Amino acid sequence: MNRVLVLCALLVPGFVFAEEIPSPELLEFLGDWEVSENEWQDPLDFMQDLDALDAEAQTAKVEEAQDAQ
């Protein structure tokens, strides 16, 4: 067991020794990937969903601006 831990520490030093503490925003963002207990959404699918929401919001802003004129 100790050999595996040492091997992991050598191969992934950023995981073992973080240069900085993750921000609350990052932790919240990563937490959104969990859809239920120990089940995770594919990050690419998650990002596509966010992009779709951003596009809808942008479309709504454009339509509101056109209606205001």
pLDDT at residue 16 greater than cutoff 70: no
Task: Assign 47 to helix, strand or coil.
Answer: helix
pLDDT at residue 53 greater than cutoff 80: yes
Question: Do residues 46 and 32 touch, judged by C-beta distance below 8 A?
Answer: yes
pLDDT tens figures, 18-47: 677 888 888 887 777 777 777 777 778 878
Q: pTM value?
A: 0.41
Domain residue extents for the chain: 2-68
